[in-house]
Amino acid sequence: MEAKMNVLFYLRKAKTTKENLVPIYLRVTIDGKGFEVTTDRFIDPSRWSSKAGKVKGTSEDFKVINNHIDILKRKAFEHQQDILLKGLPLTIETFKSAWWGLGESHYTLLNVFKQHNDDLKELIGKGYAKATWTKYETTKRHLTEFIKWKHNFPDINLKALKYEFVTGFEFFLRSQKDLGINSYGKCIKNLKKVVTECVAKEWLDKDPFMRYQVKHWETKISYLSAHELQLLTQKEFSNERLSVVKDLFLFSCYTSYAHIDAANLTLDNIVDIPERFKNSLTEKWKGKDEKAVFTFHKRFDENGNSGDNIPFLLDDQESDGTRKYFNLIGVFITAILESITAILESRLVVIDEFDARLHTLLTKSILKLFHSSQTKSKAQLLVASHDTALLDRNLLRRDQIYFVEKDKYGATEITSLVEYKPRKESPYDKNYLDGKYGAIPFIDGLESLMVDDR
């Protein structure tokens, strides 16, 4: 006996929106078993005709909705006919498979997503962090719940992915999961990446994200001041768990370690100091209050493969430039932070022979640090230098450059570049070397020292 199929359109009042609009649902019943799916259309319940299963009225909007209902009804009976022509039994299961296209292709969304996540898991520690895999797993879980909530089905064929699926997923994340714009935006972005790969592999004919814009709200990040960080350091917690959280946070602040990286540190990450370093330290720092500082470098074998990290004693094994930079950077940071947090109105850092042992790009980056519009610090830096590369109009203003030279009596004279009234486009470094600003050494006859005048 052939199974009987009934098609009904009705209002699902349990899902009424805040605007008092009710979604229209399609229900297909086969031998007493039902299949329900939303039409993605909403209507004022007073305009609905239960008897006709359509919207009452002749306005253009109502005609569009009724036309959509007719299309879905025709689609349902076409699936019924296809099932019977293929010689398959007409059951609610075969109808669901036909509706979602599960019989057309073996590629389903959740299976593809699972394969993507499994591949990603294999790459953890090889260019990807575990946190990335966890985020994609969260997106997959939300997708599974959405498909069940929206379609009452365990999976969906890739061919069934349309623009409406994406917008429906966004609505689900906002209404059912109560996610903020950036949180649900990340889930949508993860889905888009997987779907884009499917389009590239030609598993999908059309990209459902073609007309969709992933939403993102730019958040303003506030930073702890040096004073606030000090208060947190001094804060004592009676709860041991909170103390551990505080220590991890402070460790991340002072080392620039991401919290997840700090949380994943183990005893294996602690590098023991070789015996030769211990002996050196015992002699060098005996009876002193100073602390030894180590830098760590990758060890490579003869084939160029990286191995473990080996420690270098800063004062003995690093270059003069590295040691100078290490000694100065703390002064710079302290001056800038204290000027920002108003511990002091401003700090003045004075350095002679600024360019000695430091690369030009490094000295320029330090000057930029004191100029930074992001820090907005009142700290000032006064340096003496022979590096003409610092005479850069894109780096310093004319009133920030001074030339120093001795007069015939040996007294020091200081002259501002402004007094020479150079044009803004003038090459300060070239003009200086050409002697236009003075303050250059006069060298003559060095070659004669090398010539025998006999």
**Rounded CA separation 339/328 (Å):** 17
Q: Tens digit of pLDDT for each residue in 207-225?
A: 999 888 888 887 777 777 7
Q: State the pairing for strand pair 22-30/5-11.
A: antiparallel
Q: Tens digit of pLDDT for each residue in 311-325?
A: 777 777 788 888 888
Evaluate if residue 170 carries a pLDDT over 80: yes
Maximal CA-CA distance, the chain? 129
Q: Tens digit of pLDDT for each residue in 425-453?
A: 888 888 888 888 888 887 776 677 676 55
Q: Tens digit of pLDDT for each residue in 52-97?
A: 999 998 889 899 999 999 999 999 998 888 888 877 788 888 888 7
Looking at every residue in the chain, the average pLDDT score rounds to 83
CB 413 within 8 A of CB 406: yes
**Rounded CA separation 381/168 (Å):** 57
**Rounded CA separation 405/415 (Å):** 9
Evaluate if residue 256 carries a pLDDT over 60: yes
pTM: 0.41
Evaluate if residue 454 carries a pLDDT over 50: no
CB 54 within 8 A of CB 69: yes
Q: Tens digit of pLDDT for each residue in 4-52?
A: 899 999 999 888 888 899 999 999 999 888 888 888 899 999 999 998 9
pLDDT grade for 286, boundaries at 50, 70 and 90: low
Question: Domain extents for the chain?
Answer: 5-100, 127-200, 226-317, 325-433
Q: Which of 258-272, 285-299, 311-325 has the highest mean pLDDT?
A: 311-325
